[in-house]
């Protein structure tokens, strides 16, 4: 029987068929307009669910243009994913300059006090493909497009201040090594495999970045709690023409916060979109993520060194003790993208998108990047006109002479496609050096053509050692365990041995711990490095004797803000909804989120229930609370309640209980005298304040250390 139109498919009316208010008419005529379904040519169609057939049981007719257009377009919906940084999440926001950077740079968006600039920021993992999990161990990207009045400036940064390699020519090798093995295409989004550690252990310049991402920095708790770093040294120029060498930082207002490894692994299964969801939820709930932009400003010295550190070597950082980070502006991410593909996927960043006042240096890694980004985007975005895509369009006026090409969407007028011309009145003209015009700084260039590194690039171990020394004991334990995990996943003993030899050059204790974990003897300390010029202590790099730097450890004495953090509260029908309301209000004042976990969805009185033990996971909570009135409830007896509590305890999270909620902790053997476990007979302001403080400290670090020492 023919079923040409189902009953619910009433013809379109002036309200949308979903019952939702009519879609807003977009100012972009190429996106949806009005409520009627049309073809790409604007033809209204009467049916989109049935192909045109010769009778209900007959063959489909080739003349069905709507069918062919619909399927053909679908067939081409995917574009190549980024070769690196394929998986990402992004948001719109605003950057406000404090104005104090005017002494360093003439870039208007930094130098003008109170100047607000629209931005689009994309966070990403590096290794995994678009569908991979968010919480894998990886370096992460932190790219920001500043739509300034002087043209678009892209700060294409990472969340770790140094990079694996010193020269762009090694980038294909690095990425081939870390991507899945070419035969079976496994493992996905992991560095824990032979080819990566084979490469990393033989090019020991990787050792600084690898120790960073073996630490908590490789598994951030959320994108909201990552630092960002421009990595390279840039040259800034102020309005008087004075130049400085500068390193660029993003400092998260919410503090640096990482996962522990088990949490990261659980999240990969329970919620592979963990970071993407967290960013979008926080923005939707008004807990806008914020960062301050900071600059380390160093003299533009002839040798481009600063206190023994080669500023052209991207495997080196400058300790903040030697050069403080000066805060020059604030980034607030306040709006989620409307369409993932149009914005997050199609955005194209480029470290060469500069504005007057910010220029590049001779860092050989940066120089290679200046070639790579445009090149890859021509393939990924299907031709040279992707700057016309809405997300990539500059907010400054454009008068280029770029013409034609795939996907040209501009209708250029006139004859002025060459210079000099007379037929177009000589326009457009190049600008004389003036404010707002980009003039490359004249810098002398000399030297023989060579494939060589400077001697100062040869020190591969001083700064990894400084990093190791700067970690707290529990962070050191987690870092050593990460090496044991990663190398333990390698099959080749020779690869493990090579990496152990590199670790021996960083720190004997680190090496001994990892060797013990792998069940092999400590190696003799031979580096095994294949790259020319590599070695220990060759040339400068001693960072003027700084052996420990404060900016690295996440363990702080004072609690930070708990904005956007999520507290899971177990409560059930026997609990007092008034108490839940008091707690909710107190947490809301801190801009933290409270989620009630009960034995059923719906409400407890007027309090909404967001989770049941079936849908709740420990990984989504920064602290777990047990309300009074639970002890006899089915919720208390649920096996997942137990596992959530045990995981929260094991991961060093705050655990709070009052009234008979304390009995539930006792029943499951949670040590109520442990650090960060807070109990009382009733919900008091002290208990609430204790909770806020404990979350602000991120974790009960001593508890984690005690569990680690006990081997649990």
Catalytic residues: 85, 158
368 contributes a contact to ligand HDE by CB under 6 A:
yes
* Consecutive H or E run containing 491: none
The dihedral through the CA atoms of 423, 425, 430, 436 has a sign that is negative
Query: CA–CA separation, 44 vs 666, rounded Å?
Result: 67
What is the maximum alpha-carbon separation in the chain? 90
CA distances from 399 to 151, 396, 417, 428 (A): 12, 10, 10, 7
- Pick between residue 124 and residue 207 the one whose CB is nearest to ligand HDE: 124
Binding mask 294-333 for ligand HDE (x = CB under 6 A): --------------------x-------------------
Q: Is 664 in the site for ligand HDE (CB under 6 A)?
A: no
| Residue 168 CB, nearest approach to ligand HDE (Å) | 3
Asked if 219 and 133 count as a contact pair (C-beta separation under 8 A), the reply is no
- Element containing residue 155 per DSSP (H, E): strand 151-158
Comparing CB distances to ligand HDE, the nearer of 169 and 508 is: 169
Q: Give yes or no for residue 208 binding ligand HDE (CB under 6 A).
A: no
210 forms part of the interface with ligand HDE (CB under 6 A): no
- Confirm whether residue 380 is marked as ligand binding: yes
**What three-state secondary structure class fits 571?**
coil
Stretch that binds ligand HDE, among 211-219, 277-285, 345-353, 545-553 (CB under 6 A): 345-353
Structure tokens at 661: 């909620």
User: Could you say which residues in the range 54-83 bind ligand HDE, by CB under 6 A?
Assistant: 82-83
Q: Is 68 annotated as a binding residue?
A: no
Quote the distance between the C-alpha of residue 664 and its chain's center.
Answer: 37
Q: Which of 95, 98, 146, 171 binds ligand HDE (CB under 6 A)?
A: 171
> How many C-beta atoms lie closer than 10 Å to residue 685's C-beta?
9
Are residues 233 and 240 in contact, defined by beta-carbon separation less than 8 angstroms?
A: no
Options 231, 287, 677, 683; binder of ligand HDE; rule CB under 6 A:
231
By CB under 6 A, tell whether 157 contacts ligand HDE: yes
What does the block give as tokens for 509? 């204790």
Rg for the chain, CA atoms, rounded: 28
* The binder of ligand HDE chosen from 102, 117, 124, 359 (CB under 6 A): 124
Residues 347-366 interacting with ligand HDE (rule: CB under 6 A): 347-349, 365
Q: Does 376 bind ligand HDE (CB under 6 A)?
A: yes
Question: Has 202 been labeled as part of a binding site?
Answer: no
Options 95-103, 184-192, 343-351, 609-617: segment touching ligand HDE (CB under 6 A): 343-351
Q: Which is nearer to ligand HDE, 206 or 575 (CB)?
A: 206
With CB under 6 A as the contact rule, the residue among 66, 88, 297, 688 that binds ligand HDE is: 88
Fill in the DSSP letter of residue 608.
E
**Of the two residues 258 and 377, which places its CB atom closer to ligand HDE in the complex?**
377
* 171 labelled ligand-binding: yes
Part in contact with ligand HDE (CB under 6 A); list of ranges 284-292, 373-381, 481-489, 652-660: 373-381
Query: Is there a contact between 150 and 140 (Cβ–Cβ < 8 Å)?
Result: no
521 alpha carbon, distance to own chain's centre = 37
Q: Smallest distance from the beta carbon of 533 to ligand HDE, in angstroms?
A: 18
Please report how close the Cβ of residue 76 comes to ligand HDE at its closest, in angstroms: 20
The reply on whether position 220 binds ligand HDE by CB under 6 A is: no
Q: Which residue among 87, 122, 465, 478 contacts ligand HDE (CB under 6 A)?
A: 122
- By the 10 Å C-beta count (0-12 exposed, 13-18 middle, 19+ buried), 83 is classed as middle
Residues 572-611 that bind ligand HDE (CB under 6 A): none
Task: Write down the residue that tokens 């849908």 correspond to.
Answer: 615
Binding test (CB under 6 A) with ligand HDE, winner from 91, 168, 358, 471:
168
Q: Give the angle subtended at the CA of 287 by the CAs of 286 and 291, to the nearest 5°.
A: 125
Q: Give the Cα separation of 566 and 65 in Å (integer).
A: 51
Pairing of strands 623-626, 358-359: unpaired
End-to-end CA distance of the chain: 66
CA distance 154 to 566: 32
* Contact with ligand HDE (CB under 6 A) among 89, 97, 156, 279: 156
Chain position whose Cβ is nearest to ligand HDE: 141
The helix, strand and coil proportions of the chain, stated in percent and rounded to the nearest 5, come to 30, 15, 55
Of 5-13, 210-218, 238-246, 341-349, the segment contacting ligand HDE by CB under 6 A is 341-349
Site string for ligand HDE, 125-144 (x = CB under 6 A): ----------------x-x-
From the list 636, 593, 630, the residue with the least C-alpha distance to 613 is 636
Pairwise CA distance, residues 514 & 520, whole Å: 9
Number of chain positions touching ligand HDE (CB under 6 A)? 27
Q: Residue 677: beta bridge partners?
A: 655
Q: Among 202, 224, 276, 369, which residue sits at the site for ligand HDE (rule: CB under 6 A)?
A: 369
Nearest CA to 623 out of 576, 666, 667, 559 is that of 559
Which residues carry a binding-site annotation? 82, 122, 171, 369, 373, 380
Binding residues for ligand HDE (CB under 6 A): 82-85, 88, 122, 124, 141, 143, 156-158, 163, 168, 171, 231, 314, 347-349, 365, 368-369, 372-373, 376-377
Which residues carry a binding-site annotation for heme? 82, 122, 171, 369, 373, 380
């Amino acid at each position: 029987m023919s079923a040409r139109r189902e009953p619910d498919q009433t013809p379109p009316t002036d309200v949308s068929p979903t019952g939702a208010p009519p879609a807003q008419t977009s100012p972009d005529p190429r996106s949806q307009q009005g409520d009627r379904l049309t073809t790409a040519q604007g033809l209204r169609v009467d049916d989109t669910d049935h192909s045109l057939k010769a009778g209900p049981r007959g063959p489909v007719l080739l003349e069905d243009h709507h069918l062919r257009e619909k399927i053909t377009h679908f067939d081409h919906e995917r574009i190549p994913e980024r070769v690196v940084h394929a998986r990402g999440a992004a948001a719109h926001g605003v950057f406000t300059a404090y104005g104090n950077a005017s002494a360093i740079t003439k870039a208007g968006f930094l130098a003008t006090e109170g100047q607000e600039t629209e931005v689009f920021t994309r966070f990403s993992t590096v290794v995994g493909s678009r569908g991979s999990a968010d919480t894998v161990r990886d370096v992460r990207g932190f790219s920001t497009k500043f739509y300034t009045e002087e043209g678009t400036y892209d700060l294409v940064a990472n969340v770790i201040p140094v990079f694996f390699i010193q020269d762009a020519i090694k980038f294909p090798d690095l990425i081939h090594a870390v991507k899945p093995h070419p035969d079976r295409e496994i493992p996905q989004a992991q560095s824990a495999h032979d080819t990566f550690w084979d490469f990393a252990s033989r090019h020991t310049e990787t050792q600084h970045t690898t120790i960073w991402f073996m630490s908590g920095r490789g598994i951030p708790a959320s994108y909201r709690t990552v630092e960002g770093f421009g990595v390279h040294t840039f040259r800034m120029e102020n309005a008087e023409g004075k130049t400085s060498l500068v390193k660029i930082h993003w400092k998260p207002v919410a503090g640096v916060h990482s996962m522990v490894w088990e949490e990261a692994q659980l999240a990969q299964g329970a919620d592979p979109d963990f970071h993407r969801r967290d960013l979008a939820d926080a923005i939707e709930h008004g807990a806008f993520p914020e960062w301050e932009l900071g600059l380390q400003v160093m003299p533009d010295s002839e040798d481009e060194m600063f206190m023994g550190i080669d500023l052209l070597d991207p495997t080196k950082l400058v300790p903040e003790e030697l050069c403080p980070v000066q805060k020059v502006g604030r980034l607030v991410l306040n709006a989620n993208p409307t369409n993932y593909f149009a914005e997050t996927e199609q955005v194209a960043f480029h470290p060469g998108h500069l504005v007057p006042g910010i220029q590049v240096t001779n860092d050989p890694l940066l120089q290679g990047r200046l070639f790579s980004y445009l090149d890859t985007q021509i393939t990924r975005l299907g031709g040279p006109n992707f700057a016309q895509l809405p997300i990539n369009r500059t907010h400054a006026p454009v008068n280029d002479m770029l013409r034609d090409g795939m996907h040209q969407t501009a209708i250029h007028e006139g004859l002025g496609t060459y210079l000099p011309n007379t037929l177009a009145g000589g326009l457009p003209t190049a600008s004389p050096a003036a404010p707002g015009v980009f003039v490359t700084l004249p810098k002398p260039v000399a030297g023989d053509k060579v494939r060589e590194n400077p001697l100062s690039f040869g020190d591969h171990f001083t700064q990894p050692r400084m990093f190791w020394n700067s970690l707290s004991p529990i962070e050191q334990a987690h870092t050593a365990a990460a090496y044991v995990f990663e190398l333990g996943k390698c099959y080749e003993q020779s690869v493990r041995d090579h990496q152990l030899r590199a670790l021996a050059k960083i720190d004997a204790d680190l090496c001994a711990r990892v060797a013990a974990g792998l069940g092999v003897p400590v190696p003799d300390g031979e580096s095994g490095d294949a790259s020319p010029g590599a070695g220990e202590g060759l040339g400068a790099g001693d960072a003027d004797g700084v052996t420990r730097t404060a900016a690295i450890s996440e363990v702080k004495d004072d609690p930070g803000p708990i904005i956007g953090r999520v507290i899971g509260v177990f409560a059930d029908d026997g609990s007092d909804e008034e108490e839940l309301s008091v707690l909710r209000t107190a947490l809301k004042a801190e801009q933290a989120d409270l989620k009630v976990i009960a034995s059923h969805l719906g409400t407890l009185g007027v309090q909404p229930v967001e989770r049941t033990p079936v849908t709740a996971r420990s990984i989504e909570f920064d602290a777990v609370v047990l309300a009074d009135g639970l002890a006899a409830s089915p919720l208390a007896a649920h096996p997942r309640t137990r596992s959530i509590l045990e995981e929260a305890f094991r991961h060093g999270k705050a655990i709070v209980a009052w009234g008979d909620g304390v009995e539930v902790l006792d029943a499951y053997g949670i040590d109520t005298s442990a650090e960060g476990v807070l109990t009382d007979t009733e919900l008091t302001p002290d208990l609430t304040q204790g909770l806020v403080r404990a979350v602000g400290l991120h974790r009960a670090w001593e508890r984690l250390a005690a569990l680690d020492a006990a081997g649990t």
